[in-house]
Amino acid sequence: MSTRIKFELGILTIALVAAGAAFYPASRDQKPVQAHQVSSADSLDVVFASPGRIEGLSDTIAVEAAADGVLKSVNVTEDQFVKKGTLLGEIACDDLNAAFNAALAEADAARQARLRLLRGARVEEKRVAAKKTAAAHAKMAEARAQLHRQYILYKGGEVSGSDYDRTQRDYGVARAEFQTAVRSERLLAAPPLPEEKARANAEVLAAESRVQEEQERIRKCSIVAPIDGTVLRVEARPGEAFSTVTPHPLFILADVSGRRVKAEVDQRDLTKVTIGQNVIVQGEGLTGKKLIGTVQSISGVMGKKSVFSDDPADKIDRDVLEVTIVLGTDDAKSLPIGLRVTVQFLNTGVGAPAL
């Protein structure tokens, strides 16, 4: 390389270094330009932007089974609208049905036993007891008369002492039998004791509690819709085993009669968001379309981020505040739930833009 070429390259290098040194301080002192969005009418003042997702008018609900077993049936399909309480699917619980029937029988037996106790003895039993009492009374009266005759004969010396003693014993036996018959008749006619009532009531309550327990276990085998909404996804298949130890969603439901946006506001921007504030929603999935919305509610508690961008520098451990935004256009109803969007919050002094 000639000396002239080396000289020219040196001069060019010195010039580039001098230009970079002059540009660097200017770039450091330059303030960042505030983000803004230009509408077809006016320049809009964007205060800050936050990530968000498209949602239905209700939170997306994952429905699981509350009992272990094999899925017996799936009664709904995706995109089907269901009312609250609609049977979505069933877990096979044949063994629980047998236990439930046994509990029903035990409860019925306990109630019948209490009814018999409160009602007392049957009429036939009372009649038999009354006849036994009358018979015992007649036998005692005969024995008493015989004893009286034997006493007169014994005093007159016509009977021996042993015969008189035997007559006394017969009278004592007849009187004891009569007293026993009277007590039996009174016992059949007497009302139940308080402790007997308490025990009968406790047995009925225990049996009915077992019925309710078995009924609740069977109810858990039925998977029902917790809200009025549309079945977004069916993750269950008949014959699939389900366990509450390692649960997984079987049905995904949401109210999709409309759309809203859940935005996650960084804790540094909390003072910049208010209810009624206008926003612009846009994103890659909207193909350039801009949606107008209004802040409907602001959560009262901070939480962790759930909407992440593709930027590797995005911090995922920062606390955010959830803000609900209603959209003011019917076009939003066709947007897929879960679509990631960017929400630009406008200055509160700026009216709704005309896009």
Please check whether residues 86 and 230 belong to one and the same domain: yes
Distances, alpha carbon 161 to alpha carbons 144, 148, 153, 156, 166, in Å: 17, 14, 10, 11, 9
Backbone angles phi, psi at 62, to 5 degrees: -95, 120
Whether 40 and 182 share a structural domain: no
Residue 147 lies in a domain: yes
Both 122 and 225 in one domain: the answer is no
Q: What is the rounded distance in angstroms from the CA atom of residue 213 to the CA atom of residue 113?
A: 22
Instruction: Indicate if 85 and 226 belong to the same structural domain.
Output: yes
Tens-digit pLDDT profile for residues 177-210: 999 999 988 888 888 889 999 999 999 999 999 9
Q: Express each pLDDT in 281-319 by its tens digit.
A: 998 888 888 899 999 999 989 888 877 665 555 666 778
* CA 324 vs CA 167, 215, 237, 257, 275: distances in Å: 105, 40, 35, 16, 9
Q: Is 123 found in the same domain as 68?
A: no
End of a domain among 207, 229, 254? 254
Residue 344 β-bridge partners: 49, 280
Same domain, 136 and 193: yes
DSSP 217: H
**Residue 317: which residues within 8 A CB-CB, separation 6 or more?**
304
- Confidence bin at 37 (pLDDT 50/70/90): very low
pLDDT tens string 337-349: 889 999 999 987 6
Instruction: Calculate mean pLDDT across residues 8-33.
Output: 50
Question: So what's the pLDDT on residue 318?
Answer: 77
Residue linked to tokens 């007649």: 138
Helix, strand and coil content of the chain, in percent to the nearest 5, comes to 45, 25, 30
Count CB neighbours of 121 within 10 A.
16
Over residues 90-109, the mean pLDDT reads 90
Is residue 351 assigned to a domain?
no
At 98, the pLDDT band (50, 70, 90 cuts) reads: confident
Q: Is 279 helix (H, G, I), strand (E, B) or coil?
A: strand
Asked if residue 299 and residue 234 are part of one domain, the reply reads no
- What is the spatial distance between Cα 34 and Cα 311, in angstroms, rounded to a whole number? 20
Contact in structure between 218 and 88 (CB atoms under 8 Å):
no
| pLDDT band at 25; cut points 50, 70, 90 | very low
CA pair distance 232, 79, nearest whole angstrom? 6
pLDDT tops 60 at residue 47: yes
Distance, in Å, from the CA atom of 282 to the CA atom of 295, rounded to the nearest integer, reads 15
> Rounded to 5 degrees, what are φ and ψ at 316?
-100, -5
Residue 73, domain CATH: 2.40.50.100
Quick check: 15 pLDDT over 70?
A: no
354 in a structural domain: no
How many Cα atoms within 13 Å fall on the side-chain side of residue 289? 10
| pLDDT of 31 | 35
Residues 47 and 72 in one domain: no
Global confidence as pTM: 0.57
Strands 319-327 and 260-266: antiparallel
Q: How many domains does the chain have?
A: 4
Locate 200 and state its tokens.
Answer: 């009968």
Residue 167 lies in a domain: yes
Domain annotation covers residue 193: yes
Task: Answer yes or no: is pLDDT of 109 > 90.
Answer: yes
Q: Is 123 within a domain?
A: yes
Q: Are residues 154 and 232 in the same domain?
A: no
What's the pLDDT score for residue 32? 34
H or E segment and range at residue 242? strand 241-242
Domain boundary among the residues 254, 279, 305 is at: 254
pLDDT at residue 336, rounded to an integer: 87
Q: Are residues 269 and 311 in the same domain?
A: yes
The residues, any chain, with a CB within 8 Å of residue 11's CB and separated by 6 or more, are: none
Nearest Cα residue to 130 out of 190, 182, 174, 175: 182
Does residue 197 share a domain with residue 244? no
Domain that holds residue 269: 34-57+258-346
